[in-house]
Amino acid sequence: KTAGDVDASGSIDAIDFALMKQYLLKIIEKFPADTGVVNPPVRPIPDPSYSELKTNSKLPDPFKFYNGDEVTTKADWINRQKEISYLAQKFEYGFKPEAPDSVKGSFSSNKITVTVTDNGKSISFSCSISYPSTGKAPYPAVIGIGMNTLNTSTLTKLGCALITFPCDELGAQSGASSRGTGKFYDLYGKNHSAGSLMAWAWGVDRLIDALESTPAANIDAKHLGVTGGSRYGKGALACGAFNERIALTIPQESGAGGAASWRVSDWQKSKGQNVQTAGQIVTENPWQGSAFSQFGSSVTKLPFDHHMIEGLCAPRGLLVIENSQMEWLGNVSCFTTGKTAHMIYEALGVPDSMGYSSVGHPDHCGYPASQIPELEAFVKKFLLDDSSASTAYMKQDGGVTFDKATWVDWDIPALK
């Protein structure tokens, strides 16, 4: 905190205390156990201003810290993820508040009601749960942002519960002027930096708090997936990227702000294709934080791109489902992001924990039968602990190719 944050009488006001609490919680946050790396030395997180950012027309190197230091170990990668997460929150998504003062869950009629109290204010929201007729309680579950547009019969047949998360209640997306509307903003103020995708990611975190403390809901909070289609797919990726308790992330046909790369989408647009770009998205809806509008025509200044947002999920499960027939999503952009994010999983020695599958079909967010095998395999491996499931998928139809030389000027290190 700087002197400017202290008021004239020399005291720090209540809002500063809330912020300080967030910073402290960030510092003591647990490191993920599943990497086998428990305590990397703490590195200071860089905090560049917009004007200090350097232009980079390639997809930025995930394996170089912001100051240029190399990432050579898995412990370094954990620190690099923290750095990427901070930069992505500062410049794109807005900040996710840390654990609030209290979260309570109550369960009745197949519905869990989540009540969150922070800084003397409370909100609550309810999520419906539909239980499978097979499988074992407590059930693994897939959280649908908005609604679940995946092939739900595949999920229930495998014994997964489906949870509907009412994202629009938390953060509105009914046009650019709806910024700051919804229960998240009732709690944290309408000028909070978070865009609605981050408001949803925060809400899913609170849902998980409630699932953990509400045994009556009968959900295994250690085996949770998150999904969503289209705009809700952008949200699903945000949930997986910013919450280590999500075991499997499945964004579906999410395009720009999700599975696409800002840089490659701009390039596709420059070739005359009708692809959604940063310049357009900031005018459509408040999905991103307000700081992102600075990048509408300067995405090459972003110190990350969406291969690194997908990389925030690593080494956890990630299955990207796309539709190469929908021009607006940016088929080359999504494939390029998928291939480069996969390089992160390769460096971590878990290439098969991330899959990419794009099949062209005319119905946006319909789920073609040809993509069911990969869905089944990822659910088995990450939600049902079936290590025999084969999840090596890098599927792309329609002659879409990955031009590595144009986009990537870094190599895959073998992280120790």
Q: Hey, which residues are catalytic here?
A: 230, 364
Determine, following the binding rule CB under 6 A, whether residue 284 of this chain makes contact with ligand MCU. Answer: yes
Asked if residues 95 and 23 have their Cβ atoms less than 8 Å apart, the reply is no
Q: How far is the CB of 200 from ligand MCU (least distance, A)?
A: 13
To which H or E segment does residue 337 belong? Answer: helix 331-347
Q: 377-387 burial string, b = 16+ CB within 10 Å, else e? A: bbbbbbbbeee
The rounded radius of gyration (Å) of the Cα atoms in the chain is 20
Q: Does 240 bind ligand MCU (CB under 6 A)?
A: no
**Binding flags for ligand MCU, 187-226, as an x/- string (CB under 6 A):** ----------------------------------------
CB of 165 to ligand MCU, least distance (A): 16
Selected binder of ligand MCU within 256, 259, 282, 347 (CB under 6 A): 256
Give yes or no for residue 151 binding ligand MCU (CB under 6 A).
Answer: no
Q: Nearer Cβ to ligand MCU, position 35 or 230?
A: 230
Report if residue 61 touches ligand MCU, rule: CB under 6 A: no
Query: How many residues line the site for ligand MCU (CB under 6 A)?
Result: 7
Least distance in angstroms from the C-beta of 57 to ligand MCU? 23
Interface with ligand MCU (CB under 6 A), residue from 230, 323, 340, 358: 230
Q: What is the 3-state secondary structure (H, E, C) of 73-140?
A: CHHHHHHHHHHHHHHHHHHHHCCCCCCCCEEEEEEECCEEEEEEEECCEEEEEEEEEECCCCCCCCEE
Q: Least distance in Å: CB of 12 to ligand MCU?
A: 41
Q: Is 276 in the site for ligand MCU (CB under 6 A)?
A: yes
Q: Is the Cβ–Cβ distance between 65 and 43 less than 8 Å?
A: yes
Rule CB under 6 A: say whether 144 interacts with ligand MCU.
Answer: no
Under 8 Å between Cβ of 197 and 168: no
Phi, psi of 205 (to 5 degrees): -60, -45
Cβ proximity to ligand MCU, 81 vs 230, nearer residue? 230
**123 near ligand MCU (CB under 6 A):** no
Considering only CA atoms, which of 215, 242, 316, 240 is closest in space to residue 84?
242
237 binds ligand MCU (CB under 6 A): no
Query: Does 255 sit near ligand MCU (CB under 6 A)?
Result: yes
Cβ-based nearer residue to ligand MCU, 384 or 400: 400
Using CA atoms, how far apart are residues 11 and 44, in angstroms rounded to an integer?
Answer: 27
The amino acid that residue 159 corresponds to is G
Which 298-357 residues touch ligand MCU, going by CB under 6 A?
329
Phi, psi of 321, rounded to the nearest 5 degrees: -105, 125
Instruction: At 394, give phi and psi (nearest 5°).
Output: -145, 85
Binding residues for ligand MCU, per CB under 6 A? 230-231, 255-256, 276, 284, 329
